[in-house]
Amino acid sequence: MLNKLYEQGKDLHVANYVAYGKTADHKLYADEGYKETVTKVEIEDAFKKGRLVIVEGANYLVPVAFGATGVITVVTGETVKTQAWAASAEK
């Protein structure tokens, strides 16, 4: 049987968790001004629940993978580009 991931009370009525990607350092932040950091645990939790959305400028990205380096997104356009996003906080 597959491992079950249950939402918790903190997830009640949450449609998505939004993280802001700073292209200069490829890290994720909790606010548009890149001041409030997020942890790898927070990113992993939102990814596992299928609720993580990353805002990079005008692009809204949905991660396709999670690994040791963080989450991976794909941007299509003239060329297909993958991007790894890491947590901005240490813990």
Instruction: Supply the pLDDT for residue 88.
Output: 92
CA distance 35 to 45: 21
* Beta carbons within 8 Å of 15's beta carbon, 6+ residues apart: 51
Condensed to tens digits (0 to 9), the pLDDT of residues 18-48 reads: 999 999 999 999 999 999 999 999 999 999 9
Condensed to tens digits (0 to 9), the pLDDT of residues 5-18 reads: 788 888 888 889 99
CA distance 32 to 55: 9
Q: What is the value of pTM for the model shown? A: 0.85
